[in-house]
Structure 1
Amino acid sequence: MDDAAPSSLRRLPSVDRLLRHPDLVAAVQQHGRSEATLAIRETLAELRETLKPGTSTEETDIAASVLSRLDARADTCMKPLFNLTGTVLHTNLGRAILAEEAVEAATAAMRHAVSLEFDLDGGKRGERDDHIRALVCELTGAEDATLVNNNAAAVLLVLNTLSQGREAIVSRGELIEIGGAFRMPEIMARAGAHLREVGTTNRTHPRDYANALQPATGLILKVHTSNYRIEGFTAEVGARDLAKIARQHNVPLVNDLGSGTLVDLSRFGLSKEPTVREAVEEGADLVTFSGDKLLGGPQAGFIVGRKDLIGAINRNPMKRALRVDKMRLAACEATLKLYRDPDRLAERLPTMRLLARSVEDIRQQAVRLAPVLAEVLGDTVAVETVPCRSQIGSGALPLDTIGSFGLALKPKGGGRALEELSTAFRHLPRPVIGRVAEGALIFDLRCLDHESLFHENLSSLRSGVAS
C-alpha cells in the first residue's frame, strides 16, 4: 500500500455514520438495516484493500458505492431477456413463454388460498389431479390422467410402478440421452426396472419384441427419439403394431412422446408430429409427454391412459414426491383450456404464435431494426439483415428448421471485438442473447415480440459499445 494510503484510511467514515447518511436513509428502509450494514462493511473493506492516492473517500461517493452494491444484491438472478438465438423452446432460457391466461391463473393461486385438495361440493378433502383430469381426458381421448413435475419424472414413475423388479423392453434405437444427463438406461435402473434391449440401433422388428416377452416382463416402452433421427437402412415397429403385440401378451405398452403435442402442427406450417390423441388411439396403455415444450405451458409431465394403470401410479408413494404445486397446476389448467379453441390457438398461445410467424413479418422487423442498431453501434460494427433458420428446440422436430430473418452484427476488430460485443448485449438491463456464427453475432428475430422494449433497452449501449 502507498504511504499516502494510511491517512486516507483514517478518513474513511464509520459504519454508523454511513447508516445515517442522507443518501442511504431510504436504502436502509428499503433493504433493511442488516443488509445495509453488510453492504457498507463490504464497501469499506474493499476500499481498505484497494485504496490508492487520489481515490475518493468522500462520504457521498462511498454512499453511492453502497447503493450500487445493495441494488446488485437485490437484483434477481433469473433475469428476463430477449431470446434471439433462433431456438424457440430454448431449454437454457426457460422453454415455453406462458399465455397471459396461464400467468393470471398462477398469480391468483399465489395470492390466495385455493381449493387445491378440497372438494367444494362435498366439503371434504379432494385430489389435486381433479383440476385437470377431465380436461386432459377431453383433449386426448384417454380414460384417465395424472400430472407430475416433468416428463422425466413421468417416465420414472411409470417404470417404477409397472416394472420395478421386472423387465422393461425397449428398442436399442430408442435408448436416448437428452440434455441434463437424462439417459433412458439410467432412469430405468433408478426406477428399479431391468432393461431388456431388443433389435439393433437402426433396425427393430416385431419378432424382436415378441421373442423378448416372458413372465418377467413388466412393460414395453416406446420412446420418441426427440433430439435425433436415424436415417438410411432402418426399420421400427409402429405404435399401432406394437400395441397389438402388447395386447396379445397382456403387457402394458407405454408410449413416451417426450415433447408431445395436442394439435396437428402441420396447420402451422410445421412437420407432422404424432399427437397425444393419436398415440392413445393407436392403442398405447399409457402415454407420457411434457407440459413446457410444444404444449406451451409450465414445466410438467403428463401421464394419460388406462384408468386402472393411472390408479396404480397414483397409489405409488413416489407420486407425492413428484407432484406439482398449486401455481403450476393453475397454469396447466389455463393453458389446456386454450386448446378448446384451436382456431385461435396461434393468437393466444405464445409458443404457437412464435412458431407460426411468417418469414415476411420477421423480415420487415429486421429491416426496421437494422438502421436503429447501426446508429447505436456506430461505424465499428457493420449491421445487415440476413435470412436464417430457426429451430423449435427442446428435442422437438430436431431435423426441422423454420425460415426466419435476423440481423448480423460484424465488428471490425475481429474475434476479440466480437466477444466484447456479445458480452455487452448480455449485460444490458434486459440481456439480449444471440448466437455467434461466421464471424458475426446473429440475432434471429423470430422470438422478438416486444420491439419497443427492445428499442428502449438499446439506449444503454450508447455509452458503451457505441463509444
Structure 2
Amino acid sequence: MNVYEELGLKRVINASGKMTALGASVIDAGVADYMVRASMDYVNIEALMEKAGEVISKYTGAQDACVTAGAAAGIAIAVAACIAKDDIDAIERLPVSKGLRNEIIIQKGHSIDFGAPVVQMIRLGGGVPVEVGHTNKAAPLHIERAVNEKTAALIYVKSHHTVQKGMVSVEKMVNIAKKYDLPLIVDAAAEGDLKKYLAAGADLVIYSGGKAIEGPTSGFIAGRRNLIGYCRLQYRGIGRAMKVGKENIAGLLKAVELYGSRDNREEALRQKEEMEWLKVEVDKIDGLEAEVVQDEAGREIYRVHIRVDSGFLGVDAKHIIDELERGDPAVYTRNHYANMGIIGIDPRPLKEGEERVILNRLRSIVEDIKRRNT
C-alpha cells in the first residue's frame, strides 16, 4: 500500500504522461534519498542557488542557470528578468510594469493553456502579451511588425499543446531576436534535450524538473550569464512567492545528474516495443483498434492510440475513459483526442506490468458493454 492509499485515496495507474495533475513524475530512489539527506541540514540558499546554476550548466551547455519552483514559475521569472533586469525599484513593484519596456511577443498558435494560460504566466512577470499572427499561421513579418520601443522579449513555446505547423520556427525566432537585439525566451518545459535550444541561439530556456528529467517539483532557466543573474534577482520580488526549498534544489541536481548519464534512446526503444505489444493485444478486443504513434511535438515518445468503434459498441471513448478512471486502481489515459474517439496510452509513467493491468481492464469494460447490449 502506498502513501496515498494509506490516506484513503485510490491507487493511480498513470498512462496519461508526465502530467502535473497526476503528480508529474515518480522520482528515482537515489533522488529521494538525496532529498532526505539535504532536508536534514542547513545551507545558505543564495550560495546553493549559485552552485546549482554551476552544476546544471554542465549538462545544458549554458553559461549559468537559475532554479525555479517549476516551468510556469520559470516563465514568470524569465519575463520579469527581461523587464526589470537589476533595477531593484522595478523588481519590487512587478508585476506592475507601467512605464517599462514590458511587451512580450508570442505567436497566437503558442498562446496555450497548459493547465493555466501561458499569457497569465507572462503577466505575472509584469509582461504585456502581444499575440501575433493567426491560430494556424504566423510569419516572421507578423513578429517583426510587432516589435517596437516597448518590446522586452520574444517567447517561443515548445509543447505538444501548441499548433505544430504554420508557426515561425525557433531558428527564425532566434534570427529576429538578434536582428532587434532582444532576448528570446524558450519554454521547453517537457522537452528532453537540455542543449538543443541554447545551441540554436535562445537566450533563456525553461525546463520542468518534474517532467522529462524525473525530478521533484522544480524547474530551471538556463541561458546567458547576465540574464540568469537578473532571474535570480527576481527572488527579491515576485520570485519570493515561487521560492523552491533546499531539498527540492538538491533533488533536482541529483535528477539532472542521473538524467545526463541515462541512455534515453535505449529507453525510448524499450517503451516503443511495449507499445507495439499492447497494440497487437488491443486489436484482439472487439470494437477497439490500436496504432503506435510518435509524439505530436516530434519527441522520441511512442504511444498507443486506441480508436473506439462507437457504432459497434454503442458507447464513445469518453464512456470507456470514465470506466477506467472509476475503477480501482484508477487508470488515467491521455485524452487529447477523446472527442475524435481516440484514447491514448503513454508508456513513460507506467510501472512494470501496468500495461497488462490496462489491457485487462479494457477487456473487462468491453465485455461488460457487450453483455449489456445482448
TM-score (norm 2): 0.70
1:450 corresponding residue in structure 2: 352
Q: How does 1:39-438 map to 2 (within 5 A)?
A: 75-76=6-7, 79-84=10-15, 87-109=16-38, 113-115=40-42, 117-118=43-44, 126-163=46-83, 164=97, 165-184=100-119, 186-231=120-165, 234=166, 236=168, 238-262=169-193, 276-316=194-234, 317=236, 318-343=238-263, 355-362=271-278, 387-389=290-292, 397=297, 402=302, 404=304, 426=326, 428=328, 430-433=329-332
Shift of 1:361: 5.0
- Structure 1 residue 319 displacement after superposition: 2.3
Paired residue secondary structure (1:299): coil
Aligned partners of 1:405 and 1:445 also within 8 Å? no
Stretch deviating more after TM superposition (89-98 or 150-159): 89-98
Unpaired segments of 5 or more residues in structure 2? 84-96, 361-367, 369-374
Q: Distance in 2 between matches of 1:102 and 1:221?
A: 32
Shift in Å at residue 182 of structure 1? 1.8
CA contact (8 A) 1:171 1:197 kept: yes
Distance 1:420 1:197 in 2: 38
Letter in 2 for 1:103: A
| Unmatched segments (≥5 aa) in structure 1 | 1-72, 119-124, 263-275, 371-381, 459-464
**8 Å CA contact 1:390, 1:444 repeated in 2:** no
Q: Which amino acid aligns with 1:138?
A: K
Aligned to 2:91: none
Distance in 1 separating the partners of 2:10 and 2:218:
22
Aligned to 1:29: none
Q: Deviations over 1:249-284 (max 9, x none)?
A: 33222122232222xxxxxxxxxxxxx412112221
**In structure 2, what residue type is equivalent to 1:309?**
L
Name the amino acid aligned to 2:210. D
Q: 1:419 to 1:128 in 2, by over 3 A?
A: same
Distance, in Å, in 1 between the alignment partners of 2:184 and 2:305 is 43
Counterpart CA distance in 1 for 2:220 and 2:354 is 37
Q: TM-score, normalised by structure 1?
A: 0.58
1:127 counterpart SS class = helix
Structure-2 separation of matches of 1:422 and 1:203: 35
Separation (CA, whole Å) in 1 of partners of 2:191 and 2:299: 16
Report the 3-state secondary structure (helix = DSSP H, G, I; strand = E; otherwise coil) of the residue aligned with 1:187: helix
